[in-house]
């Protein structure tokens, strides 16, 4: 378990600015779920901390050449933001197996989307702004 690196904080600030208390964020290199039940390709951030399996973990996501890993990091940072803003990510995450990550931009307010859709919209926006093809 570690805190965010200086590079990861700088990366996250490109999207979230100062709206996250970065010093409170911990990054784990293990399954959040017991018995390694967390799928390998799924990161989880149910409590303001980020949980990556060994296969998707990075010691510093800001230095990653793997754009999928960077995108996943920015997606999970949205769940950190949601938790820090008082949204019940853990409770709502219980249903994430049936949560819809897809979206169409037809709603007026970001908060009118589900938690996973919000995270997808924001991380996709970051990817588009950074000219990343993921």
Q: What does each of the 134 residues of the chain score in pLDDT, given as a tens digit?
A: 999 999 999 999 999 999 999 999 999 999 999 999 999 999 999 999 999 999 999 999 999 999 999 999 999 999 999 999 999 887 655 555 556 677 888 988 998 998 999 999 999 999 888 776 55
What local confidence, expressed as pLDDT, does residue 79 receive? 97
- Of 126, 60, 113, nearest to 82 by C-alpha is 113
Q: State how far the Cα of 21 lies from the Cα of 70, in Å rounded to an integer.
A: 19
What local confidence, expressed as pLDDT, does residue 85 receive? 96
Model pTM greater than 0.85? yes
What local confidence, expressed as pLDDT, does residue 19 receive? 98
Contact at 8 Å (CB) between 80 and 48?
Answer: yes
Positions annotated as catalytic residues are: 76
DSSP secondary structure string for all residues of 34-57: GGG-S-TT--B-TTSSEEE-TTT-
Quick check: helix, strand or coil at residue 26? strand
What local confidence, expressed as pLDDT, does residue 129 receive? 82
The separation between the first and the last C-alpha atoms of the chain, rounded to the nearest angstrom, is 28
What local confidence, expressed as pLDDT, does residue 95 receive? 53
What is the domain partition of the chain in residue ranges? 2-129
What local confidence, expressed as pLDDT, does residue 128 receive? 87
Strands of the 50-52 sheet, one edge to the other:
2-3, 26-29, 50-52
Dihedral angle computed from the Cα positions of residues 45, 48, 53 and 57, in that order, rounded to the nearest 10 degrees: 120
At how many degrees (to 10) do helices 115-129 and 6-16 cross?
100
Question: What residues contact residue 116 under an 8 Å CB cut-off, 6+ apart?
Answer: 96, 99, 100, 101
């Amino acid at each position: 378990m570690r805190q965010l690196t200086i590079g990861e904080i700088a990366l996250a600030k490109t999207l979230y600015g100062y709206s996250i208390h970065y010093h409170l964020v911990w990054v784990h290199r293990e399954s959040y779920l017991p018995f390694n039940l967390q799928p390998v390709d799924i990161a989880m951030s149910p409590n303001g901390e980020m949980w990556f399996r060994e296969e998707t973990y990075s010691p510093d996501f800001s230095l990653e050449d793997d754009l999928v890993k960077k995108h996943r990091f920015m997606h999970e940072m949205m769940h950190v933001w949601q938790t820090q803003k008082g949204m019940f990510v853990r409770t709502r995450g219980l249903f994430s197996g049936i949560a819809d990550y897809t979206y169409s931009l037809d709603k007026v307010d970001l908060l009118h989307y589900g938690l996973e859709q919000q995270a997808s919209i924001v991380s996709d926006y970051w990817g588009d702004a950074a000219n990343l093809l993921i």
